Amino acid sequence: MHTAHTTDIAPDCAPDWAAIAVVILGVTAFAVGQGLTYPLIALILESRGVSSSMAGLNASVFALGLASSTLMIGTLTQRMRGDRLIVASLLGVSVCLATFSAFDQLWIWFAARFLLGFCTSIIYTVSEAWLNTACPDRLRGRVSGAYSAGMCAGFAAGPLAIPLVGIEDGFAFALTAAYVALVAFASVMLGRYAKTKPEASEAGGLLTFVKMAPVLTLMVVAFGFSDIAAISMIPLYFVERGYSQNFAAFVVTMVALPTALAQPFVGWLLDRLSRPVIAVSGSAIAAVAFLLLPFMTSQAALLITISILGAASFSLYTAALTLLGERFRGGLLVSGSAVFALAYAIGSAAGSGTTGLTMDLVSIDAGPVFVGLLMLVFTGFFALNLMRVRAARR
């Protein structure tokens, strides 16, 4: 098993387009499923009279599933080949979605939500490792940008099914389950032509990666913090400022869609300019956008600021993913992807909790200002680290 770490540029091999297609198809499918289940389950539970605390507990079970499979990724990848693990997890996601459609019992929904999180994390973790194995460094930024665009587009598309098919009869769940199953079948067919396979993560790989790449890990924590603030707290911020719920819901779309469209361009920049500089720039632009929100008065200015905020914030993750593939090989790619999943979970948990608390205890405008100031701190740290690394190379 090759788990060597290097700061040199990765080998400039031919791209494995079949593997890249499998990965982007898979991550888009899981993003559609996740983008659908978050609002749909909340709406259905509310319509059935389930308490907010019980609905929140159901969502936390999903997070528990994510964490469980992430911590087990070494064992899982050693027992099953990575490409087969992705297909098995896609089928698992499809079965979980079909379960939501077929059963109404709350305890079954808890079990299905846990398994949904378990399978989702496997797809996310192994796919990122395979993506970086399959592409040469000259294309790494653009391929990472396409991957991020697929993920963002999937998250944006999932909720769109709700007004089209409604929340009754479980049809939205069934339709999405069929779509994910179809993607699993397509992945099997495309996987037959893949020339590369994701390698297994070795025991202790998560801790090893954190020790070797603390700044990359912190980049994903920062992304998780700002991303969840934009998705979950900013809509509430606009409602509290007196805007309609429809406008607040549209804000979420204005975070996701421009972000998806921007990531291929970010990837193009990552292949032509300094990747750490792109990461620092994305963090800085996101910080400034958060700080400007309280001063925006027109809806057009608010939507433009939100669009820039989302694209800049997600570029931090696209840059981190590209740097992961540039600097690591083999099993440490899987370990790094698993660490990214945990780092995002930590950042998003901290972001939703502290931003909401700041808005409650201080003021509504204090929420985005707090996130912006913290992102400035992250930006300063990333910039200082970049200068230190460059000085050490002279």
The domains of the chain are located at 14-199, 201-394
| Amino acid 53: pLDDT | 64
The two tokens of residue 16 are 């494995």
| Amino acid 203: pLDDT | 65
| Amino acid 374: pLDDT | 94
The segments of the chain whose pLDDT lies below 50 read: 1-10
Q: How remote is the C-alpha of 375 from its chain's centroid?
A: 18
- C-alpha to C-alpha distances, 201 to 78, 216, 265, nearest whole angstrom: 7, 18, 31
Closest CA to 175 of 295, 298, 57, 32: 32
| Amino acid 224: pLDDT | 86
The two tokens of residue 80 are 């099953």
Q: What CATH fold (topology level) applies to the domain 14-199?
A: Growth Hormone; Chain: A; (1.20.1250)
Q: What is the 3-state secondary structure (H, E, C) of the chain?
A: CCCCECCCCCCCCCCCHHHHHHHHHHHHHHHHHHHHHHHHHHHHHHHCCCCHHHHHHHHHHHHHHHHHHHHCHHHHHHHCCHHHHHHHHHHHHHHHHHHHHHCCCHHHHHHHHHHHHHHHHHHHHHHHHHHHHHCCHHHHHHHHHHHHHHHHHHHHHHHHHHHHHCCCCCHHHHHHHHHHHHHHHHHHHHHCCCCCCCCCCCCCHHHHHHHHCHHHHHHHHHHHHHHHHHHHHHHHHHHHCCCCHHHHHHHHHHHHHHHHHHHHHHHHHHCCCCHHHHHHHHHHHHHHHHHHHHHCCCHHHHHHHHHHHHHHHHHHHHHHHHHHHHHECCHHHHHHHHHHHHHHHHHHHHHHHHHHHHHHHCCCCHHHHHHHHHHHHHHHHHHHHHHHHHHHHC
- C-alpha to C-alpha distances, 348 to 142, 169, 331, 345, nearest whole angstrom: 26, 32, 26, 5
The single-letter code of the amino acid at 157 is A
The two tokens of residue 280 are 């620092």
Closest CA to 20 of 145, 179, 155, 132: 132
- What does the chain come to in residues? 394
Whole-number Å distance between alpha carbons of 171 and 162:
10
Residue that has been written with the tokens 């090893």 in this structure:
208
Q: What CATH fold (topology level) applies to the domain 201-394?
A: Growth Hormone; Chain: A; (1.20.1250)
What residues are paired with 328 via a beta bridge? 5
Whole-number Å distance between alpha carbons of 349 and 232:
11
| Amino acid 235: pLDDT | 66
Residue that has been written with the tokens 């396409």 in this structure:
146
* 319-62-83 Cα angle (round to 5): 55
pTM greater than the 0.85 cutoff:
no
- CB neighbours of residue 138 within 10 Å: 13
Residue that has been written with the tokens 């000085």 in this structure:
391
**Backbone φ/ψ region at 242: left (φ over 0), alpha (ψ -120 to 50), beta:** left
